[in-house]
Structure 1
Amino acid sequence: MACAASLHPLSSSSRALFPTLCRRSTFPAIFHRLRGFSSTSPLVSTVNRLIPVPTQARTGFSVKEDDVASAADVEFQTPLRIVEYPDPILRAKNKRIDSFDDHLKNLVDEMFDVMYKSDGIGLSAPQVGINAQLMVFTPVVECGEGEEIVLVNPRVTRYSQKKRPFNEGCLSFPGIYADVVRPETVKIDAQDIKGARFTVSLSGLPARVFQHEFDHLQGVLFFDRMSDGVLETICAQLQALEKKYEDRTGLPSPERVETRRRMKDATGFGKSQLV
């Protein structure tokens, strides 16, 4: 089983642990194709004891303003392709979107298409080579069977103290799965596909998927959040991806997990920052 940002579909046993997405909603147009969370949905909840994100935000929960993406920054060609680790695009700064037009809607449609074709349940813009603050996801296996969530320029404002490990996978790390500990609930501010601002709390699987995708928008990859012991179990697979990148491009890998493992004291490397 796996979950999060380009997450792969969950097994039936995993789905039983988390609430499922409702298929109809009265929630205003937060989500693409007129779907959204119902105000009574178990996935959108106001949870007590949420911890506010401080002004000096923790790694991955940035609150500072980003540069605005130009038209060139969000240009794309079809078909979109998944960017794999260790491509430097995954670490580059992602700019804030300020243009809510048909081009953005087309990009969202293409992102959903490649997400479904890749058997994912979440995808961020940098994963398709576009360094902009945009993510799409749906924690439902079948295309069209659940809400298709679009978040533009998202920010985390609060998160729960209670955390849980979960076995995550990522389309940018094909075939790699490992446990990541994350808060069970997050409260976010974001904009919808039309630019309208909204606030919503997510819990269960949607909170998990959101945090994985949000990390991508901060240049944080899921193995950055793994414990040293967990990281050790996938080290050889990460090194294989580094070699694959070098063979394909003829360039040295822009980062190496072996170096990262030695940087135990560096913020965001090998430790969860959500404590």
Structure 2
Amino acid sequence: MASATWLHSSCLSNSLLPTLYRKTTLHPTLLRFNRISSAARFFSSPNQTNSSVLVQAKRRDGFLSKEDQVATPADLHFESPLSIVEYPDPILRARNKRIDTFDDNLKKLVDEMFDVITDGIGLSAPQVGMNVELMVFNPVGERGEGEEIVLINPRVNKYSKKTVLFNEGCLSFPGIYADVQRPESVKIDAKDINGAKFSVSLSDLPARVFQHEFDHLQGVLFFDRMTEEVLESIRVQLQALEKKYEDKTGLPSPERVKARNSRKVAVGFGKS
């Protein structure tokens, strides 16, 4: 288990506080992250590189109209209990639609997503088979404790030039951990569970968790950001997941890391 990480409460700006899907109140001066993230397991690394891998995936099928990108009731329909979608399921690469309906069904979906990460920190909707722009995380990592944060239709407003190398993992890649370089802080715009707009600045671990989950909403997976050297260290494990998918579905893997040269992603975070 990772050692506890202590961060000042300024990591979550005051503008976020009224908009959280809140269960309890955090200590006023410190946030403690004392559990392993089930959506992204993080261990700080003393190493940093000069190059920054900042990404939002390019749209792969051209541009859709705003109307076409809005989630329908069918897009938000789900069966309980939710289950984790593992690589290389094509759901993880599919386009995710904007949410415009804020109702009891959405609140139930959010509640069940938190149930999936009872021992972790963050989760995106595509990871439970829902191709909509929704992520949840709880910095404390304990259901019923800390702030249960809901971000709907998030967009990145700014990100820091300073980057940090951390060891990440992901529920959709069970047992796989490797280094990923990301900006140290981000400023984001989003909607809360009731559809109210807000902005918040995140740094350190909350920023890392957000970026990992935001990537999922863009169809970007954490190994897309890895250097070739780092990717090589987990290539066999990724191939094992591809084989697992084929054995389970009887279908060929929709992507193969063996044939991957270097997945190209657009530079910078988009706001559209």
With normalisation by structure 1, the TM-score equals: 0.79
Q: 2:78 — aligned with what?
A: 76
CA contact (8 A) 2:167 2:178 kept: yes
**Per-residue Cα deviation, 1:112-167 (whole angstroms, up to 9, x for no partner):** 00111xx3211000000000000001122322221111000000011000000001
CA offset at residue 11 of structure 1?
A: 1.3
Question: Separation in 1 of the partners of 2:29 and 2:16?
Answer: 9
Q: 1:200 — aligned with what?
A: 200
> Aligned with 2:117: secondary structure?
helix
After superposition, the CA RMSD in angstroms is 3.0
> Aligned with 1:186: secondary structure?
strand
Q: 2:49 — aligned with what?
A: none
**Per-residue Cα deviation, 1:193-213 (whole angstroms, up to 9, x for no partner):** 000001111001000000000
Q: 1:4 — aligned with what?
A: none
> Aligned with 1:73: secondary structure?
coil
Question: Separation in 2 of the partners of 1:98 and 1:36?
Answer: 28
**Per-residue Cα deviation, 1:80-110 (whole angstroms, up to 9, x for no partner):** 0000000000000000000000010000000
The one-letter code of the counterpart of 2:239 is: Q
Q: 1:140 — aligned with what?
A: 140
> Aligned with 2:71: secondary structure?
coil
Question: Separation in 2 of the partners of 1:237 and 1:20?
Answer: 37
Question: Separation in 1 of the partners of 2:224 and 2:108?
Answer: 31
Question: Separation in 2 of the partners of 1:37 and 1:196?
Answer: 22
For structure 2, the residue ranges without an aligned partner over 5 or more in a row are: 33-53
Q: 1:159 — aligned with what?
A: 159
**Per-residue Cα deviation, 1:43-94 (whole angstroms, up to 9, x for no partner):** 9xxxxxxxxxxxxx953499x9670000000100000000000000000000
Structure 1 residues 107 and 81, CA gap change in structure 2 (3 angstroms): same
Structure 1 residues 171 and 19, CA gap change in structure 2 (3 angstroms): farther
CA offset at residue 21 of structure 1?
A: 9.3
Structure 1 residues 58 and 82, CA gap change in structure 2 (3 angstroms): closer
With normalisation by structure 2, the TM-score equals: 0.80
Aligned length: 241
> Aligned with 1:11: secondary structure?
coil
Match runs of 1:172-251 below 5 Å: 172-251=172-251
CA contact (8 A) 2:26 2:147 kept: yes
Amino-acid identity (%): 64
Matched, 1:12 2:3: yes
The one-letter code of the counterpart of 1:207 is: A
The one-letter code of the counterpart of 1:93 is: R
Matched, 1:33 2:22: yes
**Per-residue Cα deviation, 1:225-269 (whole angstroms, up to 9, x for no partner):** 001111000000000000000000000000001112x2x3x522x
> Aligned with 1:107: secondary structure?
helix
Matched, 1:125 2:119: no
Question: Separation in 1 of the partners of 2:25 and 2:189?
Answer: 15
Q: 1:114 — aligned with what?
A: 116
CA contact (8 A) 1:19 1:205 kept: no
Structure 1 residues 140 and 193, CA gap change in structure 2 (3 angstroms): same
CA offset at residue 172 of structure 1?
A: 0.2
Question: Separation in 2 of the partners of 1:142 and 1:177?
Answer: 22
For structure 1, the residue ranges without an aligned partner over 5 or more in a row are: 1-9, 44-56
> Aligned with 2:19: secondary structure?
coil
> Aligned with 1:164: secondary structure?
strand
